[in-house]
Amino acid sequence: MSLQEKLDAFKADFQAGKPPYNVPPSVIETMRRATAELIASGAAQKALKAGDKAPAFTLNDANGKPVSSADLLRQGPLVVTFYRGVWCPYCNMELQALQAALPEIRGAGANVVAISPQLAANSRKSARQNELEFPILSDVQNDVAAAFGLRFELQDYLVELYKSLKNDLPAFNGDPSWTLPMPARYVIAQDGTIVYAEVNPDYTHRPDPSEMLPAIRKAAAGTN
């Protein structure tokens, strides 16, 4: 199964209220409304695209060690995935797919980092649960996500829903702002040029890792 097929299967069970989710229709409808409004806002069209220069960043990994994009780019192309947090099942499934593709990605010459706004303890949980061999970096207040054009503020009614579901983003992220990144995946060539970009305001849609391999190989060969 492709990543999207797995996400679609999960979504169907979740929206049907099947155990262990048992989610009432009102919750599903609120989530659909929020996603539709984010799509309609045009926010994704303002995010960085292929051909743009990627902002340089230095963020701490799950163990508090600074990781620099400049250092990683000296080694080869860089895959950067932005995700919402360990609490998001769609994000976890994407991380698992990236982990499964990691040998092929590294074989093509690239490194991988995942970026989320969550605190280090939650990044360690993400890495442990998903058996990840690539670093998760903490983007406090979504500043790097904002530099890529991905940060958005949750609507008030969605904040109330999250609170009712005990999905306390300020506690997860150590930040009271109730902001998240739109899920996104980038391939950055060694000169800092973005050669592949996939941004989707619908968090239930994620590209398969195989889709970026041609861009990685071209970048590694210096033909981006």
pLDDT per position as a tens digit, 52-100: 999 999 999 999 999 999 999 999 999 999 999 999 999 999 999 999 9
pLDDT at 50 over 80: yes
Residues 6+ apart with CB under 8 A from 50: 194, 195, 196, 197
pLDDT digits (tens, 9 = 90+) for 197-212: 999 999 999 999 999 9
SS3 at position 11:
helix
CA separation for the pair 136, 102 (Å, rounded): 14
Q: What is the pTM of this model?
A: 0.95
Q: Are 96 and 83 in contact (CB under 8 A)?
A: no
pLDDT at 112 over 80: yes
CA separation for the pair 212, 194 (Å, rounded): 12
Please give the mean pLDDT across all residues of the chain: 96
Chain-centre distance for alpha carbon 94? 8
pLDDT digits (tens, 9 = 90+) for 117-127: 999 999 999 99
